Each structure stands twice: as C-alpha cells, then as structure tokens.
Structure 1
Amino acid sequence: MSIFSKLFGPSAAPAVAASLAALQVDMHSHVLPGLDDGAETLEHSLDLLRQLQAFGYRKLIMTPHIMGDFYRNTPEGIRGALEALKTAAARAGITGLELDCAAEYYLDESFGRRLEQREPLLTFGGARRLVLFETSYINEPFNLNESIFNLQAAGYQPVLAHPERYTYLYGRFEELERLREQGVMLQVNLNSLSGYYSAGAKRVAEKLIDGGLVDLLGSDTHHVKHLATLRTKTLLSPYLAKALALPLLNNTL
C-alpha cells in the first residue's frame, strides 16, 4: 500500500500519482515551523511533509514570509529552522524528500532597503538566483517596477507569487503580460484552480494558463486545509492538466 493510500485511502492514490508527481518540486510553501502564518510546530511541519510527499513531490523549497511589519525573518533564522526540520524529519523516518528553503519577500520599504544595501537575498534555482516576491492583494505597490528593475540589476530573477490573487490587477490582464515580457516569472497557486481563494483568482489563473504565461506552480501550503482542498478539488480541475502541459520549471529546480 502506498503512503498516499495509508494517509487518505486507496481510492485517491491513482489520481495523485498521475498528476503532481510530474512537478517533482514544490517551490512555494510555509511548512517551516514557527516562522509565519504557516506551520506552528515541528509536529505540524512533519504532518505536512508526509502529506506533500504523498502527492508525489520529491523536493520542497519552503518559503517563509519576510515582511517588515509582521514577519521579520532573517536568512539565518530561516536556515536554522530548515536544519531543525531536517533533523526532525530524519528522526521521524521521512526519507526520499529533499528539503530546502528560500523566502517569500513582501514588497515593502524594508525590502527596498535590502536591495539598496545589497543584503544577500534567499534564492532558489541555483545559479538562476530566483527570488519569490509578493505584493499587497488590494493596493497596487508604488515600488513594483523599481523593485523589479533593482532585482534584475542585482543579478536576481524575479518571480511573482500568485499573480492571480492581486485584486488591483483584475481587469488589467495586460499588466501581467507586460510584467512577464519585462522578465518576471509568474507562479500560480495550485488551489487557485479550484476557486479556493476566490472566483476572480480562479478566472485569472485559468486565463494565465490559457495564455501559456505560467512558469511555476506552487502549493502555497500553510496548513492541512490547503492540502485537503488540493486532494479533493484541485486534482479534479481540468485546468490542472492544462497547466501541467506547459513548459513549467518546477522539475528543473
């Protein structure tokens, strides 16, 4: 019996094996314990690791929030949490799952200062130096274009997290097209395909997929509810197959 069957029942196993295993790598999650609004404890983290592995992932790049006013995480603190989780996973017998970290940077004044002061950022993708960033969901950031320019000038590759969720871009799809033409990679959340966040996010995610504008898919896992939605709804979405048919970069990370 597979690990997925043990966790969720035998009837669900074939659908998962046929879908998310193709991604190999989840590059956006909040599984590291006690750093943000994701996993609170090591026990919570280990539960999420087991479930994510059951979906077919072989590697997780965990990306805690770095946000000046709320989550003042540092590269050192994030790496420390990663090492603690690796140790706990080994003791719990979780094998065959590579664990790594980066961060999800919020475009605020503290991020601008980091760029100005040339502070090293947490990246993923090896020499490609990918940096995951997000903005306010409602208010258009005043420093979006400046931040993108500064990231690129510093040798980083910007990756915009869940562009389908920014309501200030609804009705302005051409702005997402322009950002990608500008060299920004776009990462869509898997659960957007099920309408988990909103009907609007689902529509934009589908339009990005139809336009071939998606570079990466991420689970954005914070808790078990996200994984339950992924298992019971997202895996059934016809747009998941469309997304997986795109030349995604997940399995190159």
Structure 2
Amino acid sequence: MFHFFSKKIFVKDLLNNFVDIHNHILPGIDDGAKTVHESIELIKGLKKLGINQFIPTPHVMQDYYPNTDESIGDSYEILLEALNKTKLLSDIAINPAAEYMLDHNFEELLKNKGLYTLKKNYILVEMSYYQAPINLEDIIFNIKSQGYLPVLAHPERYSFYHNKLDYYLRLKQLGCFFQLNLLSLSGHYGNGAENTAKYLLEKNLFDFAGTDVHNKNHIIKLSKLAITNKVYDNLKPIVENTNNVFSVT
C-alpha cells in the first residue's frame, strides 16, 4: 500500500532575497528592538530566512512614539555604526522609512510634506485597532493630493472591518495599497485577522507584504509558518511585486 505525502510549503520558501518593507529593527525608538544588540539579532534571524534588504519602519504616533526625522536618523546611524563592526553590512541593504499613525500629528506632517517614504512616494500608514479615523476618506484624499501613495499596513488586523468586508473594496477605490503582515496567515493576531487575510488574498486585494517583525518570537513563528498550496500561489505574486517595487539596492 502506497502513501503519498505532499511536501510541506513554508512562507520562508518565498523569502529568499525578499525586501522587507515593514519591520521594527531600529534600536530604542518604538516597541521593536530595544537595543543595538537586539537589532543585530533580529537582522541575523531575518537573514537566515533569506531576507537581505530592509526598510525599517518605526512607529510615528503622537501619543506614544513621537518620532521625527532626527530620532529615526539617529537610531539608523547608531545601527549602521554597530553593523560596520560586523560582517553583516556587506551582505544587506538598509534604508529607513516610518509607519505613520493616521492621527492629528500625521495631518500636520502631511501639510508640511515632512514624511519618510518607503521608496519614491509610497508611505506606510496605519490606523488605531479600535476604530478608523472619522475623516479617514478625507485623509486618504489629502495624502493623494500631496502626491503620496498610501500603503495601508496590515488591513487584515482592523477588526472593525471584519464584518464589513466590502469596505476593503472602497479603500482600494480610494487609492490605498494594501500590505499583508505575513504572520497574519498563522493566526498570530487571532482568527479574525487570519480569515480576513486569506479572504483578501483570494480577492487579490493585497499589493505588498512585510514581516512587521518586532522581536525574536516573530522570527521563530515566521520560520515555522506552513501554508497551503493555494495560499502559496496567491502570496507568491505579492512577494514578487514587493521586491520589484521596493528593492533598495
């Protein structure tokens, strides 16, 4: 009697030379890496998954992480100085950006065009997990009017849309790009986020992907994340598009 076993597929199978456009590896400025040592350990862990291009995106939140060009630049320089003492820097590329909370502070930054872009005119934005801004559609319109392209971080994690799936189409029509958190496919953020991520994948609504790594536990989970053939097939072009648009080398 013969038994046929299909080879397990892992998310990491897609990550060779991946450009990670969403992570928190800069030291000491948000809820990601606390120290330079932690930053380097995260980079080493991600590099083992095949990732060698990084766009760090520290939070910019008025009430919690009021980061500026200066604080982000300082953290980046500290990390580069530490990496220069290792052999890592010759194998990787790092170009910092930011993840902007859509709050009042963001609207002020937008008026002054003082935004750290992922590349060209793409900016990574996020919302509160409790509710969207009341004037969300106006903010998106203003972002576009200023010449930026909004990339909405982890749309699958906004639970207030889980029972209003049609609104994701509205956000796309308004000009939002969608960035998937890879760990959403594992149930790491709950069943609602996982189910919504798979729905958005099936509907081809994601444009880009990122790790959103904050700590070593995230990397361990990523390294073990198995996916179905169907998810793999839906995810592969998104990973490829991310690499094509955001290569930092």
TM-score (ref. length: structure 2): 0.89
Structure 2 CA distance, aligned partners of 1:247 and 1:46?
24
Do the aligned residues in 1 keep the contact of 2:177 with 2:207 (CA within 8 Å)? Answer: yes
Query: What is the DSSP-based 3-state SS (H/G/I as helix, E as strand, rest coil) of the residue aligned with 1:45?
Result: helix
Are the structure 2 counterparts of residues 200 and 106 from structure 1 closer, same or farther at C-alpha, using a change threshold of 3 Å?
A: same
Query: What is the DSSP-based 3-state SS (H/G/I as helix, E as strand, rest coil) of the residue aligned with 1:82?
Result: helix
| 2:49 counterpart residue number | 55
- How far off is 1:248 after superposition? 4.6
Unaligned runs of 5+ in 1: 1-13
Structure 1 CA distance, aligned partners of 2:82 and 2:150?
32
Q: Are 1:237 and 2:230 counterparts? A: no
Are the structure 2 counterparts of residues 54 and 143 from structure 1 closer, same or farther at C-alpha, using a change threshold of 3 Å?
A: same
Q: Are 1:221 and 2:216 counterparts? A: no
Unaligned runs of 5+ in 2: 1-8
1:40 to 34, 38, 56: 34
Structure 2 CA distance, aligned partners of 1:222 and 1:18?
21
| 1:100 counterpart residue number | 95
| 1:175 counterpart residue number | 167
| 1:8 counterpart residue number | none
Deviates further, 201-210 or 172-181:
172-181
Which amino acid in structure 1 is aligned with residue 167 of structure 2? Answer: E
| 2:24 counterpart residue number | 30
Are the structure 2 counterparts of residues 229 and 241 from structure 1 closer, same or farther at C-alpha, using a change threshold of 3 Å?
A: farther
Structure 2 CA distance, aligned partners of 1:104 and 1:244?
24
Q: Are 1:20 and 2:10 counterparts? A: no
- How far off is 1:141 after superposition? 1.4
Are the structure 2 counterparts of residues 220 and 246 from structure 1 closer, same or farther at C-alpha, using a change threshold of 3 Å?
A: closer
| 1:208 counterpart residue number | 200
Structure 1 CA distance, aligned partners of 2:202 and 2:74?
40
Identical-pair percentage: 37
Are the structure 2 counterparts of residues 148 and 17 from structure 1 closer, same or farther at C-alpha, using a change threshold of 3 Å?
A: closer
Query: What is the DSSP-based 3-state SS (H/G/I as helix, E as strand, rest coil) of the residue aligned with 2:16?
Result: helix
- How far off is 1:249 after superposition? 2.7
Query: What is the DSSP-based 3-state SS (H/G/I as helix, E as strand, rest coil) of the residue aligned with 1:158?
Result: strand
Which amino acid in structure 2 is aligned with residue 65 of structure 1? Answer: H
Deviates further, 82-91 or 129-138:
82-91
Which amino acid in structure 2 is aligned with residue 84 of structure 1? Answer: I
| 2:182 counterpart residue number | 190
Query: What is the DSSP-based 3-state SS (H/G/I as helix, E as strand, rest coil) of the residue aligned with 2:95?
Result: strand
Structure 1 CA distance, aligned partners of 2:150 and 2:57?
14
Are the structure 2 counterparts of residues 92 and 140 from structure 1 closer, same or farther at C-alpha, using a change threshold of 3 Å?
A: same
Q: Are 1:136 and 2:124 counterparts? A: no
Structure 2 CA distance, aligned partners of 1:53 and 1:159?
24
Structure 1 CA distance, aligned partners of 2:10 and 2:239?
21
Structure 1 CA distance, aligned partners of 2:132 and 2:54?
30
- How far off is 1:119 after superposition? 3.6
Question: Structure 1, residues 175-230: CA drift from partner, whole Å, max 9, x if none?
Answer: 11111122110001000000000000000100111011111111000000111111
Which amino acid in structure 2 is aligned with residue 237 of structure 1? Answer: I
Structure 2 CA distance, aligned partners of 1:102 and 1:167?
26
Are the structure 2 counterparts of residues 16 and 132 from structure 1 closer, same or farther at C-alpha, using a change threshold of 3 Å?
A: closer
TM-score (ref. length: structure 1): 0.88
Are the structure 2 counterparts of residues 223 and 141 from structure 1 closer, same or farther at C-alpha, using a change threshold of 3 Å?
A: same
1:111 to 101, 106, 109: 106
Do the aligned residues in 2 keep the contact of 1:133 with 1:159 (CA within 8 Å)? Answer: yes
Do the aligned residues in 2 keep the contact of 1:130 with 1:158 (CA within 8 Å)? Answer: yes
Query: What is the DSSP-based 3-state SS (H/G/I as helix, E as strand, rest coil) of the residue aligned with 1:132?
Result: strand
Query: What is the DSSP-based 3-state SS (H/G/I as helix, E as strand, rest coil) of the residue aligned with 2:205?
Result: coil
Structure 1 CA distance, aligned partners of 2:241 and 2:140?
20
Query: Aligned pair count?
Result: 234
